[in-house]
Amino acid sequence: VLTKYTVKLEEISFFLAADVHKLINDKAMNINRALLGNERATAKLLFILMKSELEKEKLHQLKWQERVKDWKLIQKNCVAESFREFMASEEIQSPPTVKIEMENMIKEQIVLSEERQRVLQHIGTLLPPTHTKSDLNEWYKTLENLNKSIDSHNAECVEKMRVQYELVQGKCQEKVQTCKMTLLDKNICTVADVEVVHSNMLQMTEKLKNRFEEELEHMDSDFKEMAKWHEQNCQGLYSCVLEAMGLWDVHLLKLSQQEDVLQKKVDKYRLEQDNIIQVMKNNLDTILGKMKMASCEEELEEYLEDALSSLDQIRTRYEFCITFKQTVMNEVMAYPKAILCELVSYSISISQHFSVKEIFKQ
């Protein structure tokens, strides 16, 4: 364009050619300056626009990364929260299977306890003299076997509950692995973060395991202590009743001794009288035998006097038997008093043994 107008101005010849070229050059320079300024302004505007776009893109990228980070955190928290809810559920904290085992154990314990109560009450019927120590020993053996059955039942129930707790712990371990694989598969967090979450979950399962073990140990300890308590009390009851039977045996022995003493006295008196009378009868038989062999009247009269004297002695001895009978009767009449004394002594002994007030003497 400038070249075209340069040619036209030269044709007009209003200015010199040099002035025309100078003017055109100035105009061209001004135009070039304007164009360069426009280009610089355009470039600056493009730079500013590009910078603004880059900053916006960077901001959007940062926001996106932040949103992704928040999303991953939310997903990780959801997994962790789901595991916490799983661990806090009733099925894990108080397993229904364990409750069932507990209920069955209590029902069986009630049945066995009632049976033991009947056995314990049966001791009230084991009274002398209708029952002996062998009956008491058989009763105690039955009680011991029943106590062993109860202890065995309690131990079996503890083991059954232990098995159920182990099954629950197995479910917890499976849940831990499932949550860990979920975090890894979704690429929600880094491997290090996954290990941290996994470690926290394992701590929760370990805490639950420790609680289960403490409950079982406490239950087992209580059962052992209760078994020891029952054993001591049953032994004490057995010893107490056995000693009471021993007191009865002592009482029977003393009664037997009293009876033997009375029998010996009666037998002694009877034997003495029988021996004396027998001697007199033998003497009379001897005299009568001599009378049969007497050859004269004087001998017969002498033997007759001896026979009459012997008969008088026999009559006197039989009359003395009345006094002997009274002596024996006195001994016999004193026997009930001696028996009463033994009964009072036995009543005092048995009352002291059971630490109760003695009432028989009163």
From the list 354, 79, 361, the residue with the least C-alpha distance to 241 is 354
Based on the domain organization, do 104 and 233 belong to the same domain?
A: yes
Residue 26, in any domain of the structure: yes
Quote the domain boundaries for residue 50. 2-67
Whether 204 contacts 87, CB under 8 Å? yes
Residue 207 tokens, joined = 């805490």
Based on the domain organization, do 94 and 177 belong to the same domain?
A: yes
Residue 251, in any domain of the structure: no
Based on the domain organization, do 59 and 103 belong to the same domain?
A: no
Whether 279 contacts 359, CB under 8 Å? no
Residue 288, in any domain of the structure: yes
From the list 102, 212, 112, the residue with the least C-alpha distance to 166 is 212
pLDDT tens by residue, 115-156: 999 998 988 888 777 888 888 899 999 999 999 999 999 999
pLDDT tens by residue, 166-207: 999 999 999 999 988 888 888 877 888 888 888 999 999 999
- Range list of β-strands (E), 205-256: none
Residue 79, in any domain of the structure: no
Strand, coil or helix: 16: coil
Based on the domain organization, do 310 and 338 belong to the same domain?
A: yes
Q: What are phi and psi of 127, to 5 degrees?
A: -105, 140
Residue 340, in any domain of the structure: yes
pLDDT tens by residue, 37-72: 888 999 999 999 999 999 999 999 999 989 888 888
Strand, coil or helix: 339: helix
Whether 5 contacts 24, CB under 8 Å? yes
Q: Given 221, 243, 265, which residue is the final one in a domain?
A: 243
Based on the domain organization, do 108 and 181 belong to the same domain?
A: yes
Based on the domain organization, do 94 and 190 belong to the same domain?
A: yes
Based on the domain organization, do 149 and 225 belong to the same domain?
A: yes
Based on the domain organization, do 270 and 222 belong to the same domain?
A: no
Residues 6+ apart with CB under 8 A from 197: 76, 79, 80, 179, 180, 183, 189
Based on the domain organization, do 111 and 229 belong to the same domain?
A: yes
Q: What is the mean pLDDT of the chain?
A: 82
Q: Angle at Cα 357 formed by Cα 355 and Cα 360, nearest 5°? A: 125
Based on the domain organization, do 228 and 292 belong to the same domain?
A: no
From the list 250, 340, 229, the residue with the least C-alpha distance to 242 is 250
Query: 0.75 exceeded by the pTM?
Result: no
Based on the domain organization, do 55 and 158 belong to the same domain?
A: no
- Total domains in the chain come to 3
pLDDT tens by residue, 193-243: 888 888 999 999 999 999 999 999 999 999 999 999 999 999 988 888 888
Based on the domain organization, do 63 and 177 belong to the same domain?
A: no
Residue 298, in any domain of the structure: yes
Whether 175 contacts 138, CB under 8 Å? no
Residue 214, in any domain of the structure: yes
Residue 312, in any domain of the structure: yes
